[in-house]
Amino acid sequence: MKKLIVFVFTFLIIQLHARADEGMWIPLLIGKNIADMQAKGCRLSAEDIYNANQSSLKDAVVQFGGGCTGEVISSQGLVLTNHHCGYGAIQRLSTLEKDYLTNGYAAMNKTEELPSPGLTVTFVVRIEDVTKRILDSLASEMTEVQRNKKIADISSTIEKEAVKETHYDAKVRSFFYGNEFYLFVTETFKDIRLVVAPPSAIGNFGGETDNWIWPRHTGDFSLFRIYAGKDNKPADYSADNVPYTPKKYFTISMTGVKEDDFAMVYGFPGRTTEYIPASAVDMIMNSTDPNRVAIRDLRLKIMDEGIHMSDTVRLKYLPKYKGIANAYKKWQGEILGLKSFDALEKKKTFETEFTKWTQQSGDRLKKYGNTLHQLDSLFALARPLSRISDYTNEAAFGVEILGFANSFSELIALAKKDSVKQNEIDLMVGNAKKRAEGFFKDYDERVDREMFAELLVIYRDSMKSEHLPQYFKTMNQKFKGDMFRFSEYVFSKSVFASKEKVLALLGSFGKSSPKKLEKDPAYALASAISENYDALTLRLPEINSAIAIQMRNYMAAQREMQAQKNFYPDANLTLRIAFGKVKGYRPNDGMNYIYRTTTDGIGEKFRTGNEEFYMPEKVLSMIDKKNFGTYAVNDTLQVCFLTTSHTTGGNSGSPVINAGGELIGTNFDRVWEGTMSDVMFSPDRCRNIAVDIRYTLWVIDRVEGAGYLLNEMKLSSLKM
C-alpha cells in the first residue's frame, strides 16, 4: 500500500511538473510558484521578482504603447521592445525621403533621439488583492446589473483612494471571470523618443513568410528612451525634459543560453480563454476562426496588390497589412493546433468528469448542476450572431470608406438635436477634422474601391437575404448585383472619398449638413449596415451577460473541483510572469527543432531569393567575415531561441530572463504549431520565440554604429 501511495504521489508530482510551463502568473502571488521555479533552476526569490516596497524586477518591466511590453535596460531610461511594437511610431516618423521603417535609424547622441507623440510607457507601481473588499459588498440576491454597478462603484472608490495625492493612475481589474479582483497602481510616461530602429530587413526579416514560424532569424527589436521632467516624474514632451532615472534596470547577460536553462518572461499578455467549455472551443475552431480567415484572405490579397503598386501605397498600407496578417495567420495555426491536439475531445472528457463531480453532492448539483448545459445553449445562440458580427465588422467595415463615413454618425445625431449648443458641435467638428486628416494620410482610393467591390460580395453572400439591409438590397438590385458598378457610384458621389470635400463640408458645417451627409451614398450604406447589425444582434448583450454569469460559476466550480491545483487567471493585459525552460520541440513525426538559430540561417534564407529574406550586402558581408566581436561564442552569433513559457499577444517585447534575473532576450512571437496556447496549452508543442540579446546588441553596435549606447548598460559575463 505504501508503495502504491508513493507511486501515486510521484506520478502527481511529475504531472504537476510536466504541466508547470503552462500559466501566466500574477506577480503579487509569485510566492506560490517560487518553489517550482527554483526546481527548474531559478535562483531568484519571490521578492526579487515582485516587491511593492523595494525595487524588484517588476520595476524594469513596462507596458509599451498600450498593447506591448518593454524592458528598461539602462540607468538612463533606455527601453527595449520589439520592432513590431515600435512599428507605428517608426512609421509616423518616416517619410519617403527619410524612410526609417525601411532603412532604420540610430541616434548618435541624445539630441538626435526622435520624440514620438502619442507613445506611452507604463510602470506598475503596485498590485493589491481587493477581492474581499469587493465580494463582501455584494449580496447574493443582486441582479447582474446591480452587481456590476456595485463593483464599478467600489472599484472607483478604491482607485481614488489609491492615487490620492499622487500622479499615479489606478484600475481595479476582474480575474477568474469575476471571482477575484486586483488593484493596479500605475505610472505613465508620455515623452518617449526613438533611439534605434533596425532596418526592416533585420527587424522584420522573413516578413509574413516567417511570421509565427520556427526556425526564425528576425531581429525584432527597437530601442526607445523614456524622458521625464526634472523631478524624474512623467511630463508632456518638452525639450527641457531629461532621461528618466529608473528604479531598476536589467543587467544584460553576455553568456547566453543553452538547452534546459531556466527562462522566464515578464510582461503584459493580452487575452487567453483557457477555461471555456467545449461548445466555445468548437465555435472558435469551426466558425469564428475560419470565417475571419476567409475574409482576411481577400483583404490581404487586395492590399498586397496595392503595396506592390507603388512606394507611396506601400508606406501607407504595409502597417495595416501586417496588423491584419498577424491574427490571420495565427488563427490558421490555432485551428490546426486545436485539431491535432484533440482539444475538443480533451474538453469533452473533462466535462464528463466535471458532470460526475457535480453529481456527487446535492450542494454541488444545486450550485453547478446546470452550468455546462446553460453555457452550451448560450454558445449555440451566440454562434450565428458572432458570424454576423464577423461579416459586418471584418467584411463590410473592412471597406475603409464605410468605416470612416460611419464615424460621422455621432456628429450627425448631435447636430440634429434641437437643444444642441454650438460649442458642442464645434468640438465634434474639430475632432472630425483631425480624424479626416489621419484617415487620408494612410488612404488610397484605388485599394479601397477594390475592397468595396470584393468585400461587399462576401458580405452579401454570407447573409441570408432577409438579413441584408434594405438600402443594400435596393442598390444591389439597381446595379444588378455588380459591386464594381455600385462602388463606382459610391466613390464618385460620396464626399468621404475626397479629403478636400470632407474638409470643405466640415469647414462650413451648418444646419443643412446633417441632411446632406445622411444622403451621402457611403454614409447611407454604412449606417444601413450598422443599423441592420444592431437589429440582428439585439440579443447579443443579454447573451454575453448570461455567458459572463455562467462562466463565473464554471470557473469557480473548476477551481473547487481541482482544489489542490494552483490556477492562473486568463490573460487580461495585466502584468504576469510565465516561466519554463529553453527548449526545442518536435511538432510532427520525424521533425526535431533545436532551440536556437544563428546568423548562418540568414544567408541560407537570403539565398532562396524570396524578397522577404532580403538583407543588405553590408550585413551579409559582416556575417560572412564573422565580424561579431564579443557578441559571439566560438565565432557563432545566436539570433533567436525558444522557451517553453506560456505567452500571448501583448507579451511582444517582454524581457526573457535567466535564472539569475539577467536579460537574455526579447520575446516576440510563438511557433505556428503552438498558437492554440490561447485556448489550450500543450507543453510539447507550445514555444515562445525570443531574439537573443547579444544579436540585438550586435546590430545596435556593429550594424547601426551606436555602440556608445552600451556604456549606459550593465553587461554581465556570469555563467548561469
Active site residues: 84, 220, 652
Measured from the Cβ of residue 478, the count of other Cβ atoms closer than 10 Å reads 12
Beta bridge partners of 227: 191, 243
Question: For ligand ASP, which stretch binds (CB under 6 A), given 194-202, 406-414, 667-675, 712-720?
Answer: 667-675
Q: Please, what is the minimum distance in Å from the beta carbon of residue 651 to ligand ASP?
A: 6
Handedness of CA 29, 33, 35, 38 (dihedral sign): negative
Single residue of 648, 658, 682, 696 touching ligand ASP by CB under 6 A = 648
Tell me which stretch binds ligand ASP (CB under 6 A): 233-241, 273-281, 284-292, 642-650.
Answer: 642-650
Fill in the amino acid letter for 441: K
- Nearer to ligand ASP by Cβ, of 221 and 668: the residue is 668
What are the respective helix, strand and coil percentages of the chain, to the nearest 5? Answer: 55, 15, 30
Nearer to ligand ASP, 120 or 326 (CB): 326
The three cell numbers locating residue 222: 527597437
Name the residue with cell 565580424. Answer: 627
Query: DSSP 3-state assignment of 556?
Result: helix
- How many chain residues bind ligand ASP (CB under 6 A)? 9
Q: Residue 231: which residues within 8 A CB-CB, separation 6 or more?
A: none
Cβ-closest residue to ligand ASP?
649
Assess 668 for contact with ligand ASP (CB under 6 A). Answer: yes
Residues 644/597, Cβ–Cβ less than 8 Å: no
Kindly tell me which of 320 and 552 has the beta carbon lying closer to ligand ASP.
320
- d(CA 331, CA 676) in angstroms, rounded, equals 8
Helix 371-390, helix 289-307: angle, nearest 10: 20
- Please, which residue, 76 or 574, has the CB nearer to ligand ASP? 574
Distance separating alpha carbons of residues 680 and 683, to the nearest angstrom: 10
259: which 3 cell numbers?
538547452
| Residue whose C-alpha cell is 501583448 | 650
Q: Provide, rounded to whole angstroms, the least separation between the CB of residue 221 and ligand ASP.
A: 13
**581 lies in the site for ligand ASP, by CB under 6 A:** no
CB of 326 to ligand ASP, least distance (A): 6
Residue 352 and residue 586: Cα distance in Å, rounded? 30
Query: Where does this chain touch ligand ASP (CB under 6 A) — which range of 169-177, 239-247, 395-403, 641-649?
Result: 641-649
Binding of ligand ASP by 216 (CB under 6 A): no
- Count the Cβ atoms, other than its own, within 10 Å of residue 12: 11
Q: Which of 104, 206, 246, 649 binds ligand ASP (CB under 6 A)?
A: 649
Q: Is residue 652 part of the contact set for ligand ASP (CB under 6 A)?
A: yes
Residue 218 near ligand ASP by CB under 6 A: no
CA 232 to CA 576: how far, in whole Å? Answer: 26
**Joined grid coordinates for residue 115:** 520624440
- Do residues 689 and 670 touch, judged by C-beta distance below 8 A? yes
Contact in structure between 269 and 571 (CB atoms under 8 Å):
yes
244 binds ligand ASP (CB under 6 A): no
Nearer of residues 454 and 669 to ligand ASP, judged by Cβ? 669
The answer to whether 568 and 23 have CB atoms below 8 angstroms apart is yes
Tell me how far, at minimum, the Cβ of 583 lies from ligand ASP, in Å: 16
Member of 647, 658, 682, 696 binding ligand ASP (CB under 6 A): 647
Nearer to ligand ASP, 44 or 691 (CB): 691
Residues 323-382 within binding reach of ligand ASP (CB under 6 A): 326
Tell me the C-alpha distance between 72 and 75, whole Å.
8
C-alpha 370 chain-centroid distance: 34
| Interface with ligand ASP, residue 188, by CB under 6 A | no
Alpha-helix runs per DSSP H in 242-370: 278-283, 289-307, 311-340, 343-358, 362-368
Name the residue type at position 260: D
585 touches ligand ASP by CB under 6 A: no
Q: At residue 583, what is the residue type?
A: K
Torsion 473-478-481-482 (CA) sign: negative
d(CA 154, CA 137): 8
Question: Which one among 299, 670, 687, 694 touches ligand ASP, defined by CB under 6 A?
Answer: 670
Measure the CA–CA gap between 217 and 605, rounded to whole angstroms: 9
Residues making up the chain, counted from first to last: 720
Stretch that binds ligand ASP, among 55-63, 300-308, 333-341, 663-671 (CB under 6 A): 663-671
Query: Shortest approach of ligand ASP to residue 290 CB, angstroms?
Result: 19
Among 21, 113, 669, 704, binds ligand ASP (CB under 6 A): 669
Characterize the bridge pairing of strands 242-243 and 169-175. Answer: unpaired
Cα 146 to the chain's mean position, in Å?
A: 32
Give the nearest distance from C-beta 257 to ligand ASP in angstroms: 18
Residue 651 touches ligand ASP, criterion: CB under 6 A: yes
Q: At what angle do helices 311-340 and 343-358 cross, to 10 degrees?
A: 50
Alpha-carbon dihedral 391, 395, 400, 401, rounded to 10 degrees: -70
Residues 440-499 within binding reach of ligand ASP (CB under 6 A): none
Span of 294-302, 365-373, 533-541, 668-676 interacting with ligand ASP by CB under 6 A? 668-676
Nearer to ligand ASP, 92 or 646 (CB): 646
For ligand ASP, give the closer residue by CB, 606 or 672. 672
Q: How far apart are CA 99 and CA 105, in angstroms?
A: 9
Does position 179 interact with ligand ASP (CB under 6 A)? The reply is no
Report the alpha-carbon distance of residue 204 to residue 650 in Å, rounded.
Answer: 18
Closest approach of Cβ 642 to ligand ASP, in Å? 12
List binders of ligand ASP among 1-60 (CB under 6 A).
Answer: none
Least distance to ligand ASP from the beta carbon of 220, Å? 8
Cβ nearer to ligand ASP, comparing 200 with 652: 652
Min CB(649)–ligand ASP separation in Å = 3
C-beta of 464: minimal distance to ligand ASP in Å? 34
Measured from the CB of residue 609, what is the shortest distance to ligand ASP in angstroms? Answer: 26
- Would you say 326 or 407 has its CB closer to ligand ASP? 326
Contacts with ligand ASP by CB under 6 A lie at 326, 647-649, 651-652, 668-670
